[in-house]
């Protein structure tokens, strides 16, 4: 499995994952302050572009801004007042484009296509003596300085603890099986497998969680301070992710029955998780089965929570869905892992 199957299958999987020639259907929004034939033509061209998905029509700026903060759209365009009249008067109006400041790759594709649409529309106007009859102006929502150090740093920190939480759970729960000390451990717990379970799980989760909070706080110093409610939401999400990851690690031990195979499974699943979590490559551009895999990763949902908190106070409502999913994952994996590991302990205790 490790020598032949895993390297080949993982390589083929990664090649197909990055096989798309271009990103498709990036969700964007638009604000109309000028209802004219030219603005309608621009909207039609944006809708017809295969890279863009004109998903949101906003009544004002704050509505589109909330759409970016909630992850509903990646960018939005503001058609200014008297847009058509100013173009026909050769005044070269400026059209502001606001994009999500965290996702560089997605922004690059979206902004390129939006500017291409504006350039095409402008070139077809009767203003040939003006090089740019319509100008665009790029703005960033949430990362106005264009500094990605903190954003990528936070994502990488989270992915490291995502992996370490799985691996340490694999080690802690496979160690008694590997060294045939299961009976010794159960005797030390007063003959109770439940006490042994809690004595193993609770310190493991709390130590991993506190360490992650400390490193996250240190890394977050590059960005604007979080409010108390935002910090509580991030901390709750991190706890839920650690809970889910430790449960997954325990389940891998219960399924495989030995440290070597459980560690290999954890490495194959958790190792490339950051590439699939949407922080560097947008999930919306991934194949369907890869998006399903990304959804099953606890890392994906915690990064979504962290991103929403970094962008500012969004009422915490969009983050609750991700938190509930993480808590559901934690409950599922711990119930499955507990059932499997109790069976292993019972068998090895008698042996």
Same domain, 130 and 215: no
Same domain, 245 and 126: no
Same domain, 311 and 162: yes
Q: How far is CA 214 from CA 107, 158, 209, 244, 305, in A?
A: 31, 12, 9, 19, 17
Residue finishing a domain among 141, 164, 189: 141
- Closest among 322, 156, 146, 150 to 330, alpha carbons compared: 322
Same domain, 207 and 250: yes
Q: How far is CA 220 from CA 94, 157, 216, 242, in A?
A: 35, 10, 6, 19
Distance CA 343, CA 345 (A): 5
Same domain, 180 and 288: yes
Q: Which residue is associated with the tokens 């039609």? A: 44
Which CATH number belongs to the domain containing residue 105 in this structure?
3.40.1710.10
Mean pLDDT of 208-216: 88
User: What pLDDT was estimated at residue 325?
Assistant: 94
Residue finishing a domain among 141, 168, 186: 141
What pLDDT, in 10s, does the model give residues 133-149? 777 877 776 665 555 65
Residues 6+ apart with CB under 8 A from 86: 80, 92, 93
Same domain, 153 and 74: no
Residue finishing a domain among 141, 169, 186: 141
12 domain-assigned:
no
Residues 6+ apart with CB under 8 A from 93: 80, 82, 83, 86, 87, 134, 135
What pLDDT, in 10s, does the model give residues 219-264? 777 666 777 888 888 999 999 999 999 999 999 999 988 888 888 8
Same domain, 136 and 158: no
pLDDT of residue 154 exceeding 60: yes
9 domain-assigned:
no
328 domain-assigned:
yes
Same domain, 236 and 116: no
285 domain-assigned:
yes
Strands 52-58 vs 135-141: parallel, antiparallel or unpaired: unpaired
Same domain, 127 and 173: no
User: What pLDDT was estimated at residue 229?
Assistant: 82
Same domain, 208 and 332: yes
- Closest among 242, 213, 227, 219 to 311, alpha carbons compared: 227
Secondary structure element (H or E) that encloses residue 29, with its range:
strand 26-32
Q: Domain of 118?
A: 23-141
């Amino acid at each position: 499995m490790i020598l032949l199957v895993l390297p080949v299958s993982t390589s083929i999987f990664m090649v197909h994952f990055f096989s798309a020639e271009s990103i498709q259907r990036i969700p964007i929004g638009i604000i109309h302050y000028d209802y004219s034939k030219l603005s309608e033509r621009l909207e039609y061209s944006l809708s017809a572009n295969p890279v863009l998905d004109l998903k949101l029509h906003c009544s004002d700026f704050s509505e589109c801004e909330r759409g970016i903060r909630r992850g509903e759209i990646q960018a939005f365009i503001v058609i200014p007042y008297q847009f058509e009249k100013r173009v026909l008067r050769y005044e070269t109006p400026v059209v502001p484009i606001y994009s999500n400041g965290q996702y560089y790759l997605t922004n690059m594709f979206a902004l390129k296509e939006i500017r291409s649409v504006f350039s095409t529309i402008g070139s077809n106007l009767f203003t040939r003596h003006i090089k740019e009859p319509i100008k665009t102006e790029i703005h960033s929502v949430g990362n106005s300085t264009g500094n990605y150090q903190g954003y990528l740093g936070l994502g990488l920190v989270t992915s490291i603890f995502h992996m370490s939480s799985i691996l340490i759970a694999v080690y802690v729960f496979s160690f008694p099986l590997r060294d045939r000390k299961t009976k010794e451990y159960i005797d030390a717990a007063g003959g109770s497998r439940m006490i042994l379970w809690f004595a193993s799980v609770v310190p493991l989760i709390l130590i991993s969680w506190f360490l992650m909070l400390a490193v996250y706080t240190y890394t977050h110093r590059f960005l604007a301070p979080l409010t108390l409610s935002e910090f509580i939401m991030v901390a709750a999400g991190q706890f839920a992710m650690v809970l889910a990851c430790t449960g997954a690690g325990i389940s891998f031990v219960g399924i495989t029955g030995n440290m070597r195979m459980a560690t290999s499974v954890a490495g194959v699943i958790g190792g490339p998780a950051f590439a699939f979590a949407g922080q560097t490559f947008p999930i919306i551009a991934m194949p369907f089965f890869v998006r399903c895999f990304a959804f099953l990763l606890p890392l994906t949902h915690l990064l979504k929570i962290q991103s929403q908190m970094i962008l500012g106070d969004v009422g915490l409502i969009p983050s609750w869905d991700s938190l509930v999913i993480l808590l559901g994952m934690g409950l599922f994996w711990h119930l499955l892992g507990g059932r499997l590991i109790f069976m292993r302990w019972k068998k090895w205790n008698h042996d």
